[in-house]
A and B are shown apart, each in its own frame.
Chain A
């Protein structure tokens, strides 16, 4: 019976006896297994695409973020003390004629620092004058607190950079008490005070100067101009005063009459 260790006897006669029964799986079973084998191959593509699409989405997101932030550096955090330093103070756009129309600075860093230092000195002198006016001081404090609470230093810098160009053309020089007291500046200041966002650095120069110049002082200046014979200038200033303080002049005149 035994031929060798691996094939101890012949298979064929036994196979013939067993295969006489012609056993075979049903056709439905065949079809089911073949379909299952094909289905198992189909998801391979899906499994390949899923991680690929995820990776592509992630890459796209990273590229978008990098594109948004330019060279990819995170924006520096600006504190209030930084704002006080000359290096951090950026003059409002339009004030300097060397700026381009799109608001991009073309001047060098030392020039900017010099300019900022000049603004700072003017600002300090204006504040000194302003300190003499208790009501104005209180008003400024309130405004400063509101501005800090709502916008913060970053917002102030941003607002300064977004200052309208028309202000810049009107006021080519750094804001002084006379210029900042114009009706446009006053309206701007009032609207910013209403919305609670008027705390831009550029606007703060104007606001400080405006608070220094009360209607009484303004009217006195007008009288002074008139006394000097500069009638045309005095009339223009009077119109501005009316526009800035619509009812003040009437009240003032009535008071004068009463006296």
Chain B
């Protein structure tokens, strides 16, 4: 799978000493990875650090890289691990990420009026960003990996270290809550 991946080939070329291959790789993923980290970490000052840490790990692991999976899966797994490390270092984690998925699902079914009122005040994108911030970290990571990273459900499970069923469940709950928050502006 990964061998035919164009990004994987670029990474192999970079590992072999081609600096321009890295430039291409970086240009292709910098935007998506930045948004993924910024929305997952939700801390403007920490985003830059985590982003740089992520690319540093990519650079450092270039010789160990094997195209066993898609490059994006490998890259976002590193990014996800960097975010987890950041939370561990800062000792600050979103309280809601510790909540069981079923509880979250129930909460999504019976959302309070507070967030809805806040969503109505901004543009759809801002409301989406705000709603994303209120999601538990696991669901937020699953949603961002799917939308920004372009990962499949199985790849999300691989990147976050869970089985595909759990990844799919998290993604479903995340979308359900975001749709509820966006109301009529939510995509179909």
Contacts and interface: CB of A to CB of B under 8 A. Distances in A.
Contact of B19 (A1, A10, A24, A37): A37
B36 to A, nearest CB: 10
A227 interface: no
A23 B37 CA distance: 11
Q: Is the interface of B mostly helix, strand, loop or mixed?
A: helix
A25 B51 contact: yes
B51 A13 contact: no
Contacts of B59: 36-37, 40
A143 to B, nearest CB: 71
B81 to A, nearest CB: 18
Nearest to A26: B48
Interface string A20-60: 11011110011011101110110010000000000000000
B50 to A, nearest CB: 11
Contacts of B175: 1, 8-9
Contacts of B39: 18
Given A8-B172, A34-B23, A44-B17, A14 B147 contact: yes
Contacts of A5: 153, 164, 168
A17 interface: yes
Contacts of B35: 18-19, 21, 23
B34 A21 contact: no
A10 B187 contact: yes
B52 interface: yes
Nearest to B154: A6
B60 interface: yes
A97 B17 CA distance: 71
Interface residues of B, number: 40
B161 to A, nearest CB: 18
B153 A29 contact: no
B26 A15 contact: no
A2 B152 CA distance: 13
B187 A14 contact: yes
B55 A36 contact: yes
Interface residues of A, number: 31
Contacts of A34: 22-23, 26
Interface in A215-248: none
Contact of B187 (A17, A19, A36): A17
Contacts of B51: 25, 29
Given A8-B153, A13-B187, A18 B172 contact: no
B159 to A, nearest CB: 14
A229 to B, nearest CB: 101
Interface in B100-157: 123-126, 128-129, 146-148, 150, 152-154
Task: Please name the 4 residue pairs, one residue from A and one from B, whose CB atoms are nearest each other, closest first.
Answer: A13-B187, A20-B125, A6-B152, A37-B22
Interface of B: 14, 17, 19, 22-23, 26, 30-31, 34-35, 38-39, 48, 51-52, 55-56, 59-60, 62, 123-126, 128-129, 146-148, 150, 152-154, 164, 168, 171-172, 175, 187-188
21 contacts: A6-B153, A7-B152, A8-B171, A10-B187, A11-B146, A17-B187, A18-B39, A23-B31, A23-B34, A23-B38, A24-B30, A25-B48, A29-B52, A30-B26, A30-B30, A33-B26, A37-B23, A38-B22, A40-B62, A41-B14, A44-B17
